[in-house]
Amino acid sequence: MGKRLEIAIAGAGIGGLALATLLARAGHRVRIFDQFETPKPIGSGLMLQQTGLAVLDQLGLRQEIDALGTRIERLWGLTTPSLRPVLDVRYAKWRSDIYGLGVQRGLLFDALYQAAKTADVDVVLDAPVIGAEPDAPALVLKSGERVSGIDLVVYAHGARSNLTPGNRGVDLPYGALWATLPWPENGPFDATALEQRYYKANRMTGVMPSGRLTPDAPETLTYFWSIRADREAIWRSRPLDHWKAKAVALWPETECLMDQFQSHSDLTFARYRHHTSTQPTAGRGFARIGDAWHAASPQLGQGANMALLDAWALAQALTATSDVSDALKSYVRMRRGHVRLYQIMTWMFTPVYQGDSRFLPWLRDWLAAPLSRIWPGPPLLAALVSGAIGSPLKRLALK
């Protein structure tokens, strides 16, 4: 091992915890500062792809998470009322050994948090960060404390953190209501697929298998309903039965889930933001990972996976050289191309599946969807969804 570094990370999310564990295991002293009084995950169920799973394998967590998650072989969506297929991604069309893994965010968070604590990462709670000094480097807390004497500050906060400059990025018009529910016994849903139903692009609902939290816990699914962010308050002000009727009309099979929604608070609203920082690194010792660098809508499901790749890349860069400035340059070189590619692709896909355009859904339904089923469409779509376009694993020396 080279020089032992003092590292401060802002944000105890998926990327921050993964990075902290990797760096602590490499012998560095790592502290994570988080705003919450109790560590907890934020968000709904998610899909881990081969990219994120490869990093979890290096962390020694893949077997545990694989055993409790649900393997997803297909992403499958129909438009109503015609029930015309507009999304059909099968991983096997690219490689037979590739799959998505539906997990509850709490499962992934708990595994990473315990790994960090085992690696002697110091997690400082109830410590909101309000800024950083890249050249010192130093971290500034809301309490007024200035955390100095460190070699590297890493921002690993969420997309909507106050640490993201207000003039950067775009708040996307559509978000989603979501809930994690028990998997219905003998239900109508495919246990190996993320299924969605669309009406144009302004109405969408879906069901994703999301595994179990513990070996003896029941199987779950994550239910979601697309909604404009500026209409959330209106939705909460109206009788829930009105929305249930719309939800069932769009996808009749979801009627078996509706009794579990007794109040509006049974569904959590998630807002989305798209931004890419022009400075993923700065000064002598400052870096961004995950949403702090590149936030996007969930259309390609890459958020957690990209954060894990960033964490691995930065950890490897710091292992290769004891010079922090050189390591940061290497980190950006390893990740910039893949980040740019997926930010562009997500930006292109989002209005096709969530938006108010009348033309784009028509183009999707009658042109793009049929063409996607003609070679080389199927393997390319599967590779895109899995995060493999741009060969990030090869670039990062991951299996």
Report the number of distinct structural domains present in the chain: 1
Residue 241 forms part of a structural domain = no
Residue 310 lies in a domain: yes
| Confidence class for position 167, pLDDT limits 50, 70, 90 | low
Q: Please indicate, yes or no, if residue 378 is contained in any of the structural domains.
A: yes
Predicted local distance difference test score (pLDDT) of residue 39: 85
Domain residues for the domain of 338 are 6-170+273-395
What is the predicted pLDDT for the residue at 163?
86
**212 pLDDT more than 80:** yes
Q: What is the mean pLDDT of residues 52-78?
A: 97
pLDDT digits (tens, 9 = 90+) for 266-298: 999 999 999 999 999 999 999 999 999 999 988
Residue 114 domain-assigned (yes or no): yes
What does the pLDDT average to over 300-310? 94
Give per-residue pLDDT as tens, 99-139. Answer: 999 999 999 999 999 999 999 999 999 999 999 999 999 99
At 124 the pLDDT is 97
The 10s digit of each residue's pLDDT in 359-385 is 999 999 998 888 889 999 999 999 999
Please say if the pLDDT value at position 168 is more than 70. Answer: no
CATH number at residue 96: 3.50.50.60
Asked if pLDDT for residue 265 goes beyond 80, the answer is yes
Instruction: Assess whether pLDDT exceeds 70 at residue 391.
Output: yes
Mean pLDDT in residue range 180-200: 96
Query: Above 90 in pLDDT, residue 180?
Result: yes
Residue 190 falls within a domain, yes or no?
A: no
pLDDT at 122: 98
Percent of the chain exceeding pLDDT 90 equals 89
Task: Please give the share of the chain, as a percent, with pLDDT higher than 70.
Answer: 98
Using one digit for the tens of pLDDT, what is the confidence trace for 134-149?
Answer: 999 999 999 999 999 9
What pTM was computed for the model? 0.96
Any domain includes 33: yes
Closest CA to 58 of 17, 26, 22: 22
Residue 165, CA distances (Å) to 183, 261, 287, 293 in order: 40, 37, 15, 11
pLDDT at 3: 87
Residue 97 lies in a domain: yes
Question: How confident is the model at residue 166, as a pLDDT?
Answer: 57
**Does residue 248 belong to any structural domain of this protein?**
no
What's the mean pLDDT when you consider all of the chain? Answer: 95
Is residue 169's pLDDT more than 80?
Answer: no
